[in-house]
Chains A and B, each alone.
Chain A
Amino acid sequence: MQRRHFLILGASAFFSAMLERAARADARPAKAKAMILLWMNGGPSHLDTWDPKPRHPNGGPTKAIRTSQRGLQISEHMPSLARVARKLTVVRSMTSREGNHQRAEYLMHTGYAPTPTLVHPSLGAWVAKKIGGPQNGLPPFVSIGGPSYGAGFLGVSNGPFVVLKAGAPPDDVTPATSSDRFARRQALLAQAEQRFAERSGSPMVAERRAVYARATSLMGSADLSAFDHSDEPQAVKTAYGETDFGRGCIVARRLVSAGVRFVEVVQDGWDTHQDNFNRVGKQLGIVDPAVAALVDDLDRRGMLASTLVVWLGDFGRSPKINAREGRDHHPKAWSAMLAGGGTRPGLVGATDAGGENVAGTAYGVPDLLATCASLMGLDPREQVTTPVGRPITITDGGNPIAPAMA
């Protein structure tokens, strides 16, 4: 960064100290211990969520309401989020180039556009690899309601532990037999493995044993109940909304309390090519109470400062309303929302009057992921070498979004 400036200014102690501070800004100590990614699968309309345009024909019937954050207006279908808005960072100046679901989802999760030569790790996998999991047997990276994205060249052991049904214990964590019989079988298996390792000489046997050990330590974890929300008070369940996504948000909070580092919760159904306004209204009826309750709940428990919450989808949706009252894919301009974990509440950036383009400074997906990485204490510029010897950083040249960070 600005090496030329440095030379021009000369190495006065004052300036060099300042520059050093600036250079370290990307790798500052972690503000966030954990991250919750609220993944809006299909691509939510920015115009009908965080960036309404009630005075423009592109805005459609969506009205804007005032929020607890001065100067921020959001969709009328987000009353709960309007209430907690002073805790939120809304970035309206996001942009990307990927308008195809698969490519966009890959980009949003990894910070890279897909290439056939390399499978990039998702941010959750980087967190799993670099920070690791808690000591209680829970995995570092959990995805609820969807598969998230894997670890690519970091190896599947750093990929997500996927729970498809939110709120209940994961599949297959209880043995099919009584626990003493399960323990007996473990001993019988250990013996068989020993024999095969000796006969085949394959190092894979020991490596496979290690994976089994992780599985059995999850089975025996005292914190396994973090996956199960049934003991939550009814008032909490009601606040989050009794939906799969709401339950997913409760479980995300429980998992983070139990030391899990990265949780993704998926809400599908945002691909509103037709009947956009009714469908977005329904989606928000699920998402709005859940996300607001999550932010409130984390705050009340004193966890918000150390938990980064990010709301994100495939792309924005076309400002022009199509003939089927729908909106199509629009990667050129869209919004993301962040909360907690060292973010600075407020509004960042804007789109033009019709919501078509970013007005002023635009941020790319790598910038957003670099922001998250940096808040989690990972250096977005650190180079790692892939198995084929290619140097690579966590995101494709992203720079943390300074106005979004405290």
Chain B
Amino acid sequence: MRNGTLAGALVLSAVAAFVGCNHAGPAARAPQAAATVRAPAPPDFGPRDVDAMLEKAWTEKGVTPAAAADDATFLRRAYVDIVGTIPPPERVVSFLADRSPNKRAKLVDELLASPDYAEHWADYWEDQLMGQARAADIDRFAFRLWLRDAFAKNTPWDRMVYALVTATGQNSPGGPRPKSMSEAERAIEKSPEPVNGAVDWVLKYRDTPQDWAGNASKTFLGVQIQCAQCHDHKTEKWTQKDFRQFAACFMRAQTLPLDGLMQKGQKRAIVRDIDRPLPRFMRNPDLVDIGRAEPTALDGTPMTDDPRESIAKWITTSPAFAVEAVNRMWGHFLGRGFVDPVDDVRPSNPADAPELEQALAKDFATHGYDWKRLIRTIALARAYGLSTSSASPVLWSRFRATPLGPNEMLDALIDATGIDDALRRMGRFDVDALTERLRQLYGFVFDVDEESDEQSFEGTITQALVQLNGRLVAGGSTALPGTAVARIARSDMSADKKIEALYLRTVSRPPTADELASWTKYFADPPPVSAPEVVDRKTPGPFRRVPETRDPKIAAVEDLMWTLLNSSEFVLNH
């Protein structure tokens, strides 16, 4: 897939011709769509320009921003937000030791260049675009690989969205469902037919073009046009007619299954457009009025010639497209977008600091919709480097703590504990496949509700139980051969060094003097470990109940690890 996507995009036109599409492939037109907005040598709008605008806004509002966060806090934050996990302990040490004045900029560049960058943003967008959608012909691996590949190449956002909205071709290599990303990658490379993972997003909306239209508008433009599906919007300008005409652009994608109903595993299908709304939609009383509407963009431009391609072009060149991307990214890094929620732009929900939002959007659009450039600007702005505090933030005057997302949490736990190494050493398990299973578990358990008030911590009993007693945390805080805690506990380091090593691994900072003192005391006189009371029911697999350590000196180190993994400091991005 790595090099398969571009090739896939190129042969798409061939596939399109093969399945009888009456238009040229998207790869042929996308660059033209983008070229119209790219002017030569546009002025730069960088982090210092962001600061100047925000500082002016703070002064006008009489707001005093919080103090700057210390280096360790910034490092952890940047890791979590840019590459989706916590920094390795060696990086904490080297970053704190680095005396160069531009070390934060160097760090951000290093993270943007890391392979984890593409993994993280593929995770993020898979979640945003696919949610919990599962079906026999939705190949989530192919989709994630498509995204990963695009982010690895830093594909301009307008081109990515164009490719998504216009996606045609085959969804998956088929065959047995892969257990891990690497397995999926191999299957796609071996597939005789080219696979276009973007098609899997289209398949999600196979029966619900109205939702497809609504989600495309919401996700890429921040416009919640779908409110007008049932009736004219009460407070906003959108009418039912606007919605129907917009949704009419999404009525022609036809799914041709390549595998029979009885086929097990991953089902293959081809998506192509026909030259009119699908007949089955026209027989559906909920869709027939959409099918009869004239395909039209939200600004009234008719989308007559190949509506799906036209609307993709319109979306990716609309001014709202860059604004929404910027708003979303600002919200990701700063905890709250200019417009909040990040995908609900409307006159009755005005933006905070709209001039700043517009300036960033302009810079994003005029510099080739370059995510890395945008992230660099935001991450190096003063607001992103402020500390948290108990006062409620006005215009991002203090940093908002947010809980780690499901994948961030899982990766942070794996990286902090080294549990994957321990499992590899046991040699009996496919660690990638296990990680994939854990991803699903964590995705299910830690899926945070976007609707909730982000100022407060919303959690479930299950989440707490998984942290308190789950096998991942239990295994990671038990001195099993290969785990970090075993290495540290059994080393000949002094107590101070052991404590420091665990703090660096988990909360990405050295312990304070106070913490060092109380844990040294605990280590010096560790409480005895009593015999376990519960006998394990025979759970198969590697996450069977972990045998408890009996040596109190080792157990004390485990207790510290467990405490750190359960702490809010570990679980929050702060």
Contacts and interface: CB of A to CB of B under 8 A. Distances in A.
Contacts of A171: 465-466, 470
A156 B456 contact: no
Given A172-B470, A176-B548, A273-B261, A204 B457 contact: yes
B462 interface: yes
A161 B460 CA distance: 8
Contact of B463 (A202, A207, A211): A211
B460 A157 contact: yes
Contact of B563 (A185, A200, A216): A185
A119 B457 contact: no
A174 B390 contact: no
Interface residues of A, number: 66
Interface string A312-340: 00000000000010000000000000000
Contacts of A99: 207, 284
B572 to A, nearest CB: 6
Given A202-B388, A215-B468, A156 B559 contact: no
B429 interface: no
Contacts of A177: 529, 532, 548
A48 B533 CA distance: 51
B449 A151 contact: yes
B282 to A, nearest CB: 15
Given A115-B226, A116-B214, A185 B562 contact: yes
A385 interface: no
Interface stretch (A25-33, A56-64, A68-76, A187-195): A187-195
B32 interface: no
A174 B545 CA distance: 10
The majority secondary structure among interface residues of chain B is loop
A193 B534 CA distance: 28
A157 B458 contact: yes
Contacts of A119: 449-451
Contact of A179 (B344, B458, B533, B545): B533
Contact of A176 (B458, B462, B512, B546): B546
Interface centre among B389, B391, B451, B463 (most CB of A within 10 A): B451
A170 B466 CA distance: 11
B245 interface: no
Nearest to A174: B534
B531 interface: yes
Contacts of A189: 563, 566-567
A155 B229 CA distance: 26
Contact of A204 (B387, B456, B468, B469): B456
Contacts of B388: 200-202
Nearest to A196: B569
A380 interface: no
A175 B466 CA distance: 10
B461 A192 contact: no
Interface string B527-552: 10111111000000000011010000
B3 interface: no
A139 B465 CA distance: 13
Contacts of A152: 449, 451
B125 interface: no
Contacts of B458: 155-157, 207
Contact of B568 (A147, A188, A191, A196): A196
Interface string A78-121: 00000000000000000001011011000000000111111100
Contact of B459 (A103, A151, A157, A388): A157
Interface in A139-176: 139, 147, 150-153, 155-157, 159, 161-162, 170-176
Which 7 A-B pairs give the minimum distances between C-beta atoms?
A201-B390, A215-B464, A176-B474, A207-B457, A211-B459, A204-B457, A172-B465
Given A172-B468, A177-B532, A204-B572, 14 more contacts: A97-B285, A116-B226, A155-B452, A156-B452, A172-B470, A184-B527, A192-B567, A200-B387, A203-B456, A211-B459, A212-B468, A273-B261, A274-B261, A324-B261
Interface of A: 97, 99-100, 102-103, 113-119, 139, 147, 150-153, 155-157, 159, 161-162, 170-181, 184-185, 188-189, 191-193, 195-197, 200-205, 207-208, 211-212, 214-216, 218-219, 273-274, 324, 387-388
Interface of B: 133, 207-208, 211, 214-215, 218, 224, 226-227, 229-230, 261, 284-286, 344, 349, 387-391, 401, 403, 444, 448-453, 455-466, 468-471, 473-474, 478, 512, 514-515, 518, 522, 527, 529-534, 545-546, 548, 555, 559-560, 562-564, 566-569, 571-572, 574
15 contacts: A99-B207, A100-B208, A147-B444, A156-B448, A156-B449, A157-B460, A161-B462, A171-B470, A176-B478, A176-B548, A195-B514, A197-B568, A203-B455, A203-B457, A211-B461
